[in-house]
């Protein structure tokens, strides 16, 4: 096939394609009359009926009348007034190690022997302190009850949630480094 014949064939295909696009176009302004007719028909139809409104349920009314009942937040409910049980000593002067939480203190060694045994505690401020029985440490009024070569035993006072206090045992073990 020659190049002239090929060009003629391409031109013929292009003319046929363009001729197919021109079908259905009218000379009226606005384009296709079928589309305008369809829109007019759709607008002329009646609107579909709306669903009925749901039925509202009637609920039972309840009147809260607690004027004659005890106030759950009054002091009579808690045992704050009772003097029984352990209590923190509010007159005691706080010691240096009480400003740090107990889990922030690390036992790093011990000094002495027997009853004069003292533990070495590294605090978060990177200072090492000597600890012996009777010293307070931690933020829950923790009092050291005993010191051994590998452990410090203490008793903390924690609130019981009802205005009283509970003793809770705790310990700090020697760090293995």
Pairwise CA distance, residues 103 & 107, whole Å = 11
Q: Is 165 helix (H, G, I), strand (E, B) or coil?
A: strand
Q: Identify the pLDDT of residue 75.
A: 60
**Confidence band of 120 (pLDDT split at 50, 70, 90):** very high
163 and 157 Cβ atoms separated by less than 8 Å: no
Q: Tell me the average pLDDT of the chain.
A: 82
Pairwise CA distance, residues 42 & 56, whole Å = 35
DSSP annotation of 78: S
Q: Identify the pLDDT of residue 85.
A: 74
| CA 109 to centroid of chain Cα atoms | 39
pLDDT (tens digit per residue) in 73-114: 766 544 444 556 788 888 889 999 999 999 999 999 889 887
If you search the block for the tokens 């749901």, which residue do you land on? Answer: 54
For residue 49 the two structure tokens come to 């009926």
For residue 14 the two structure tokens come to 């292009």
Q: Identify the pLDDT of residue 45.
A: 92
Q: What is the mean pLDDT of residues 60-85?
A: 68
Q: What is the mean pLDDT of residues 126-133?
A: 92
What is the side-by-side strand order in the sheet with 118-122? 106-111, 118-122, 128-131
Q: Identify the pLDDT of residue 82.
A: 52
pLDDT at 29 over 70: no
3-state secondary structure 99-160: HCCHHHCEEEEEECCHHHCEEEEECCCCCEEEECCCCEECCCCEEEEEECCCEEEEEEEEEC
For residue 139 the two structure tokens come to 């933020």
**Confidence band of 130 (pLDDT split at 50, 70, 90):** very high
Q: Identify the pLDDT of residue 80.
A: 47
For residue 79 the two structure tokens come to 């045992």
Comparing 125-129, 131-135, 172-176, the range with the smallest average pLDDT is 172-176
Q: Identify the pLDDT of residue 1.
A: 63
Query: How many other CB atoms are found less than 10 A from the CB of residue 156?
Result: 20
């Amino acid at each position: 096939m020659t190049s002239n014949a090929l060009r003629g064939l391409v031109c013929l295909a292009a003319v046929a394609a363009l001729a197919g696009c021109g079908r259905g176009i009218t000379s009226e302004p606005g384009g296709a009359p079928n589309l305008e007719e369809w829109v007019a028909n759709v607008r002329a139809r009646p609107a579909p009926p709306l669903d009925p409104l749901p039925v509202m349920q009637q609920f039972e009314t309840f009147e809260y009348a607690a004027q004659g009942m005890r106030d759950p937040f009054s002091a009579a409910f808690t045992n704050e007034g009772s003097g029984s049980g352990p209590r923190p000593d509010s007159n005691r002067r706080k010691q240096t190690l009480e400003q740090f939480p107990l889990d922030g203190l690390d036992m790093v060694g011990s000094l002495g022997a027997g009853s004069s045994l003292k533990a070495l505690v590294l605090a978060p401020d990177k200072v090492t302190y000597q600890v012996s029985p009777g010293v307070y440490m931690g933020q829950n009024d923790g009092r050291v009850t005993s010191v051994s070569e590998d452990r410090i035993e203490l008793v903390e006072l924690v609130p019981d949630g009802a205005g009283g206090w509970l003793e809770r045992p705790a310990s700090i073990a020697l760090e293995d480094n």
